[in-house]
Structure 1
Amino acid sequence: MLDWEKIFATRSSRMRASEIRELLKLLDRPDIISFAGGIPDPALFPDEDFKAAYADIFGGPAVSAALQYSVSEGYLPLRQWLAGRMAAIGIPCEAENILITSGSQQALDYLGKLFLSPNDTALVTWPTYLGALQAFNAYEPTYDQLSTSGNRTPQAYRDAATEAGGRVKFAYMSAEFANPTGETLDLAAREKALALAEELDIALIEDAAYQSLRYDGEAVPPILSLEIARKGSIDEARTIYCGSFSKTLAPGLRVGWVCASNTVIRKLVLMKQAADLHSSTINQMAICHVAERGFDKQVAKLKAVYSKRRDAMLAALAKYMPADVSWTVPEGGMFVWLTLPAGMDGAELLAKSLATAKVAFVPGKAFFADGSGANTCRVSFSCADEAMIEEGISRLGGLIGKEALAA
């Protein structure tokens, strides 16, 4: 028989199934209360707005363009709308500074391809977004822990990268309501990250998938905004901003974007041409139609619902979790990060939880590039109502208490 493993590229050995994607299958089981998927609640999709958008497209002259090949950069009216939104959060730019991608996940894949040669170093937080690790893994990097406290010298990063056989190429971080922790970087930490990138002369990838979903607390300027304020122009900036409509309008349409200097965008356009020519034109047009007519209203609806669910989860954690469990208190987004008692394994706990408590969550180890973090887990409140949250956290807290006593 043909031995495919001998033919596959070496990079294929670093491709791993997403634990989260596998756990999403549990959403179809009515007996499971799932806090696993970091996905939007489908009941909150603006489906009527999309019905109207597609009807308008198919009912007018735009349908020919919608069904035809298009430019790799993306639908111009959408990029123009995005340029206006970026300016509103302190990132003045032009449509030429924006590339439309098939979700922000494609943007991460392109950026890994653009910057990483085998053995180069990517700086990521411990923990970090699992999808970013999956995207970067194919380009055979070394990972080093990005400190947001600034307690590690630039030379230490350089030395570690040289020892690994490459160079530091970029720092990747989610500054707003990060997946998986829900935490937000304060202004000082953002300034330190930018200073580190300057000292190392590397790119800084700012993953802003949850930027619109702030429920309380003071907004902090995006890192790209801080850099433009210093340098005067986005074309002088090293920060690359990745955004997405998946958490606000509809994930199934797969529309995200990159906002960066023209030099970076031109390279990414070449990758887009080679990979899939362009993102779905009709989906871009529909997103643009809905965004122009009601983006702020949609976001306000999401924030009203998700903030109550966040509050319900925090209250239930305080009520039902044993004293030796701690958790983050997010100001927005979709996630709370739990630290379990020392020695408890999140993956083993999940297996027992599915069998007995009937509660799903994501074990934390998958979010650590070095395989640590076994005694952590991520819970999401976006797809569970307050009653489900109360019941699910009660069951999970009870199980953790029993496991701790048995240890």
Structure 2
Amino acid sequence: MQWDQIFAKRASRMKASEIRELLKLLDQPDIISFAGGIPDPALFPAQAVAEATATAFAERGTTALQYSVSEGDARLRAWIAGQMAELGVPCGIENIIITSGSQQALDYLGKLLLSPGDTALVGWPTYLGALGAFNAYEPRYDKLDPDTNRDFNDYATAAQEAGGRVKFAYMSVDFANPTGRTMDRAARERMIDMADELDMALIEDAAYQSLRYDGEPIPPILALEIARKGSIDAARTIYCGSFSKTLAPGLRVGWVCAAKPVISQLVLMKQAADLHSSTLNQIVIDRVARDIFDDHVAKLRATYSARRDRMLAALEHHMPEGVSWTRPDGGMFIWLTLPEHMDGADLLARAVRDYRVAFVPGGAFYADGSGRNHLRLSFSLADDATIDTGIARLGELLRGAG
């Protein structure tokens, strides 16, 4: 049977994730991998999760294994609402839906907001998983750069000429994946101005928001917008949060915080897609978060910030002239810019074959496939010795390619 003849046209826009493929390298013990932006499993709160699971059955019995409401566990949503209030986002549980990780949230938002030919504004580069989530809904991408003075109407005109309209801007504002950069307050305020001018939504991906190591926190865009407009239900910003980088990625618990009309539509999507996220996992996350969240995140910050510092020092020592990199205040990533003639994808093949070190080529993070002279390095999963050895190998590779 010729399956490609009956697949929907949108299926042709679905591509394998380069990062998901690179994670297979972790099964090769001699490979030093800076590729996957994944938490260190040695830091997972395994004992707390085990105790919370036992408590869930002791307190709730078989209801922990039963179907649940699509909005998500009310206790967990209440805890999240409390956390959002501390960030300057007063809201109720009716403004929150639980998703199977923030990745599911991005997929739902693409489905909710994009018609074929509509424009999504994304960074150049941006999170590869966001492109993967949005691609199936056949958008046109335009380059979002909050630090430039591009006229807002230019975005609208270009979108109209392409046969659609601008529906949203997607941003990872704190320690972005892949660059590690943080959007300053002025740029966040400018994004609110742009959203109002273009009558579009803002998708604020806050997956790394808790992992700040240096500097003063900047209010989320949603908080800044609420301060202007008075309530979350008057806001255009859709905030996507996750426990994957703070507690346990395998439990797949994330959330969306937004105006009630947005949440209501997402609930309908949830009902049609998977009914609800895992009941047991939500109960466990709620218990663990209430018991240890702040202390556990403090431990993560101490460990990951030391690894970041080690990698920055190793880069200073081993990188050849002509290579530059970001110095993130948090998160899990450092972004390398190579001389223009170098291609990260070509270098990766040599790196794995000859130097047994892996990274993510930069072109994967660009909607148009450009940016090939960049690499993403993750420091979250590497100890000091691994960082020193791996960056030394990478430096040797780049000197040879120069």
Q: State if a TM-score over 0.5 links the two structures.
A: yes
Which sections of structure 2, spanning at least 5 residues, go unmatched? none
Paired residue type of 1:329: R
2:379 aligned partner = 381
1:147 aligned partner = 145
Of all paired residues, the percent bearing the same amino acid is 69
1:357-396 equivalences in 2 (<5 Å):
357-396=355-394
2:9 matches 1:5: no
2:174 aligned partner = 176
Q: Which moved more, 1:276-285 or 1:63-72?
A: 63-72
Paired residue type of 2:103: Q
Paired residue type of 2:362: G
Paired residue type of 1:234: I
1:235 and 1:262 in contact (8 A); partners too: yes
1:127 aligned partner = 125
1:204-353 equivalences in 2 (<5 Å):
204-353=202-351
Cα deviation, residue 63, structure 1: 2.3
Cα deviation, residue 150, structure 1: 3.7
1:240 and 1:258 in contact (8 A); partners too: yes
Instruction: Determine the C-alpha separation between the residues in 2 that align with 1:295 and 1:193.
Output: 31
TM-score (norm 1): 0.98
Instruction: Determine the C-alpha separation between the residues in 1 that align with 2:130 and 2:149.
Output: 24
2:61 matches 1:63: yes
2:46 matches 1:47: yes
Paired residue type of 1:94: G
2:83 aligned partner = 85
Instruction: Determine the C-alpha separation between the residues in 2 that align with 1:343 and 1:337.
Output: 17
SS in 1 for 2:173: coil
TM-score (norm 2): 0.99
1:88-103 equivalences in 2 (<5 Å):
88-103=86-101
Which sections of structure 1, spanning at least 5 residues, go unmatched? none
Paired residue type of 2:4: E
Cα deviation, residue 338, structure 1: 0.3
SS in 1 for 2:256: strand
Instruction: Determine the C-alpha separation between the residues in 1 that align with 2:145 and 2:386.
Output: 36
Cα deviation, residue 155, structure 1: 1.3
2:188 aligned partner = 190
2:16 aligned partner = 17
Q: Which moved more, 1:141-150 or 1:261-270?
A: 141-150
SS in 2 for 1:171: strand
Instruction: Determine the C-alpha separation between the residues in 1 that align with 2:68 and 2:189.
Output: 39
Instruction: Determine the C-alpha separation between the residues in 2 that align with 1:40 and 1:301.
Output: 13
Cα deviation, residue 64, structure 1: 2.1
Q: Deviations over 1:189-245 (max 9, x none)?
A: 111111111110100000000000000111111000000000110000000000000
Instruction: Determine the C-alpha separation between the residues in 2 that align with 1:316 and 1:193.
Output: 36
1:150 and 1:192 in contact (8 A); partners too: no
SS in 1 for 2:335: strand
Paired residue type of 2:11: S
1:34 aligned partner = 33
Instruction: Determine the C-alpha separation between the residues in 2 that align with 1:347 and 1:151.
Output: 32
SS in 2 for 1:221: coil
Cα deviation, residue 319, structure 1: 0.6
Paired residue type of 1:160: A
SS in 1 for 2:202: strand
Instruction: Determine the C-alpha separation between the residues in 2 that align with 1:340 and 1:325.
Output: 5
